[in-house]
Amino acid sequence: MDDIMMRGMNMQQMMKQAKAMQKKMMAEQEELAKQEFVGKAPDDMVTATFTGDNQLIDLKINPEAVDPDDVDMLQDLVIAAVKDGMKQVSNATQQKLGKYTQGMGL
């Protein structure tokens, strides 16, 4: 076999591997999107539930957190729960899909 033919075969093999990896990555992304992650504020006063594709699907506020004289505290609790949920999604995404993006500068 000459050099050009060998390179062509190697390129075909690389393309097959890339397509297989892409298919596996997409399947893992779909699996991740189906998972739910619950972010919590201190003392579970507020919980925020996200899907693995960062969709907020539920927000629960403990009635004890509702103080008309301290709306700022409630806002802080909601923000804390949302940030916690988003962090969980981000960590799970990195854990599951990070292997595909290592060394790619992404």
DSSP 47-93: EEEEETTS-EEEEEE-GGG--TT-HHHHHHHHHHHHHHHHHHHHHHH
Q: Which CATH number belongs to the domain containing residue 40 in this structure? A: 3.30.1310.10
Look at residue 66 in the predicted model and tell me its pLDDT. Answer: 94
Number of folded domains that form the chain: 1
Band of residue 4 on the pLDDT scale cut at 50, 70, 90: low
Residue 83: give the domain boundaries: 1-103
Look at residue 76 in the predicted model and tell me its pLDDT. Answer: 97
d(CA 83, CA 93) in angstroms, rounded, equals 15
Choose between 14 and 1: higher pLDDT.
Answer: 14
Tens digits of residue pLDDT in 7-66: 667 888 888 888 888 898 888 889 888 999 999 999 999 999 999 999 999 999 999 999
| Distance in Å from the first CA to the final CA of the chain | 38
